[in-house]
Amino acid sequence: MNDKKQIAIGIGEILWDILPDGKVLGGAPTNFAYHISQFGYNGQVVSAIGNDHLGEEILQQLKSKNLGFNIQQNDFQTGIVNVTIDKKGIPQYEIRENVAWDHIEFTPETEIIARNTTVVCFGTLAQRSLISRNTILRFMDLLPTEALRVFDINLRQHYFNKALIENSLHKCNIFKINDEEIEIVAEMFTIKKISEIDICKQLLKKYSLDILILTKGTAGSYIITQSEISFLPTPKVKVVDTVGAGDAFTAAFVATFLKTKNIFTAHEKAVQVSAYVCTQSGATPTFPNEIIAL
């Protein structure tokens, strides 16, 4: 399946998550690309690293995971995020500023990748800098008409605003958001305090979205389209940490939806995969065969 028609891109931040027990490769777009590659797609990361030891270690990690990449190297430091985990396994992030992935340049190679992409996942964090934001938005504009454009909002610290979110919503056809983020977006966009589902339906309609994914942690998750709603509870598992669980959910949903065109089947797989990631340390565990089988 590693032909050009099946390229799955994560564009944006690539970094080291510094966890209590050591560092692991991270960044939501990177996690997405890795997880969807485990389903047989040609997952690739478009990002930037520094000319430093941490950057070289990232390249080694990507190669060891057989993950494709279009990684630029520049004179800024490779990204680092200090992650603390609370008693419930929920991570808190301290994100270093003005790092390599804040300076992702648009190149001729980036253009070739964009024109041959089947699905791309992007968020708000890497758009905190003008250089990377322009690259991401230009990439979106060059995608094939039929490509899936997944905006996984991933609000972090203060690195977002209404204009950035609204512009991204105009670029996507699948929007993923969690229960905390939807409250922020509803207030920011002055959507009346109605039910979460009504807020989702308003966003679907206003931005002509095909699919909206709403995750609610232990309270379950929804997949919502203009005509269908799927709800599934979150499985009870022994949580090690939840780092990367949302990215795994997105990747599993998209991979399965591309194959089946069925939101209910794709939702079931996403819930299963996300629960498995919660039982593992770090954002990018290797899935057992029974997890990725359809």
Backbone angles phi, psi at 66, to 5 degrees: 55, 40
pLDDT band at 21, cuts 50/70/90?
A: confident
Average pLDDT over every residue of 41-54: 96
85, pLDDT greater than 80:
no
Residue ranges of domains in the chain, CATH in brackets? 4-292 (3.40.1190.20)
The larger pLDDT score, comparing residue 100 to residue 24, is at: 100
Give the separation between CA 67 and CA 287, rounded to whole angstroms. 14
pLDDT reported for residue 5: 55
Give the separation between CA 8 and CA 43, rounded to whole angstroms. 5
pLDDT reported for residue 277: 87
How do residues 199-225 score in pLDDT, each as one tens digit? 999 999 999 999 999 999 889 999 999
Contacts of 263 (CB under 8 A, 6+ apart): 211, 223, 225, 228, 230, 257
Average pLDDT over every residue of 104-118: 96
Weakest mean pLDDT among 68-77, 163-172, 242-251: 242-251
Helices (H), 65-178: 108-115, 130-141, 162-171
Q: Which two tokens stand for residue 245?
A: 């669980």
195, pLDDT greater than 70:
yes
How do residues 229-243 score in pLDDT, each as one tens digit? 999 999 888 887 777
pLDDT reported for residue 2: 42
pLDDT reported for residue 293: 76
Q: Is the pTM of this model over 0.85?
A: yes
Residue 7's H or E segment, with its range, is strand 7-11
